[in-house]
């Protein structure tokens, strides 16, 4: 098996932040320019990636031992994002119901039409059980792509963090 290339901690941290930022940019771009509407679970999946960006940037400017801990925390954040994406994929496939109340249709109780209209959200939301496909004809939803992306990113980043510690020992 070929040896992994040696990266400095600053380079690895910068790459981590940039890759997570690119994933967030793709999600935002598909929403803004692609016309895709995110559901509540989609929006929740973005928070761990935001944390990875911050952890990567902090790891760039901290001493080596602290930076390694921050990069390891980034791996955990990516795994948390993969767990959320797995739940989302399960909701899309009908394996279970969404844990978020925002994913269900709104329920209106009594009141006048004006009161009901006033209680409606300003922007319509998308149900979490309707899969969003980025590439037409390819039956892989955005949630599934995020699941595989986070698992792969966490695995690769984890190998670099682990190998960096082994080389120092």
CATH superfamily of 9-102+132-168: DsbB-like (1.20.1550.10)
Neighbouring residues of 27: CB distance < 8 A, sequence distance ≥ 6: 38, 42, 46, 142
SS3 109: coil
Average pLDDT estimate for 39-58: 95
Which among 145, 159, 154 has a CA at the least distance from the CA of 51? 154
Cα 10 versus chain centre, distance: 23
How does pLDDT run across 108-157, given as a tens digit for each residue?
A: 566 776 666 665 555 556 788 888 887 778 888 999 999 999 999 999 99
| Residues in the chain, total | 169
Indicate the pLDDT class of residue 169, thresholds 50, 70 and 90. Answer: very low
Indicate the pLDDT class of residue 38, thresholds 50, 70 and 90. Answer: confident
């Amino acid at each position: 098996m070929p040896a992994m290339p040696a990266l400095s901690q600053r380079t690895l941290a910068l790459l981590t932040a940039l890759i997570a930022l690119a994933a967030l940019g793709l999600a935002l771009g598909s929403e803004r320019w692609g016309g895709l509407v995110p559901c509540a679970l989609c929006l929740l999946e973005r928070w761990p990636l935001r944390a990875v960006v911050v952890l990567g940037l902090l790891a760039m400017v901290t001493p080596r031992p602290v930076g390694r801990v921050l990069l390891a925390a980034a791996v955990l954040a990516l795994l948390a994002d993969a767990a959320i994406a797995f739940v989302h994929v399960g909701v899309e496939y009908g394996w279970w119901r969404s844990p978020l109340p925002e994913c269900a249709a709104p329920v209106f109780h009594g009141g006048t039409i004006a009161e009901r209209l006033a209680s409606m959200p300003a922007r319509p939301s998308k149900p979490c059980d309707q899969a969003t496909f980025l590439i037409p004809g390819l039956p892989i939803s955005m949630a599934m792509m995020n699941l595989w992306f986070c698992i792969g990113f966490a695995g690769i980043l984890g190998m670099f963090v682990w190998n960096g510690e082994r080389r120092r020992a």
